[in-house]
Structure 1
Amino acid sequence: MSKKIVIVDYGVGNLLSVARAFEHCGADVSLQDRASALTDTSRMVLPGVGAFGDCVDALRSRGLDQAVLEHVARGRPLMGICVGMQMLLDASEEFGSHDGLGIIPGVVEAIPRMDHAGNVLKVPHIGWSPLLPPEGRNNCWADTPLSELKTGTAAYFVHSYHARPHSEDHRLADAEYGGQRITASICREAVFGTQFHPEKSGEVGLSIVRRFLEAA
């Protein structure tokens, strides 16, 4: 039997490519733009592309932020993708200060503009980068949507900002950019997020989608 999943449609994000990835993995996908339609879903996906402020304003203008918060309060699985992941944190510094959903304590910061040698890095960070466990937490992927991946497996990124959780326990995976660690994935209980795009990461991304669909 297929797993039902709702993708939050607030007018921003790669909705169709995200939907296709979940459908490919056997999910029964519904795109919903009304808060009333989000009250009884078992699994939810919050996508996002563009600037943090625009995304969170669009989410709130439709009253969908409260639906997301109520879903999380019920302990049900939620997956945030790219800016959708960033909105799970308290705030972002992108183009000013913007409040997030406050589901995972932390802030969204600019990725490094220079490497350790002082060389200017290209921003945004676009392309395939290996996923790494945070330093000192080599076994943290067990029982998460990343559990089938090997250290160093690459995923596809497009971003200029990244999450900085206050607790290292909420940092699930890193990538390296200019020799410096940036956050690739975060999690807290049933809430999971990726800075990279699973829907653009081939079989690697599909394995993550399948594992999310298996969440309790």
Structure 2
Amino acid sequence: MAGRLRAPTGRYGGKSAAQRQAERRTRFLDAALGLFGGSPGYRATTVAALSEAAGLSTRQFYEEFRTLEDVLSALHLQVNAWAEEAVLAAAAGARDLPLTERAAAIFRAYAADVTGDPRRIRIAFVEIVGVSPRLEEQRLARRACWIDLICAEARTAVARGEAAPRDYRLAATAFIGSVNGLLHDFSAGWVDATLDEVVDELVRQLVGILRPPGWSAGAPAR
């Protein structure tokens, strides 16, 4: 039969089959974070090596995943979800702050999350690239979500009279590339700056986009 092996059902050790399955999946993803995001990297990792690192069998691997690409896909989504959770929490807490302070809070949360664990930034910006058309589509879809978030913040700033009214999608697309590139280089040790200095630079760039030369703050847009 094609596809994954069927997982066992029933309770064992006081845990349901669903609970045991969730724990196994977490162990595989934790192990993948170390192997894919560290050494030897996704392309040099085998199912056997991942299973050994997780303390599980290859049979259990195939009960949860079809391929290592499926593991990388799930891990990439998880890394993005962690970052998104941090950003949304920061945005909620900074909702009433002026534009510059609000942007700083959001970028500080994002930067701290993605650079706090070098393995995460490698998964998000290195290992996922060029693996397959499916994962390229996923990577671009996740990037589109970040672009949507920047556009939403820009619309909020426009509504408050803090930014020039225009369509920011093209600018946001260019800007998110700068954000990811700078944070990757910082994490790799190629940028001679502190994380606060990196965040300050990103804030200056965003404010420069939202407030072009010749524009002055006015009444909130209606």
**Structure 1-normalised TM-score?**
0.24
* Higher share of residues assigned strand: 1
* Higher share of residues assigned helix: 2
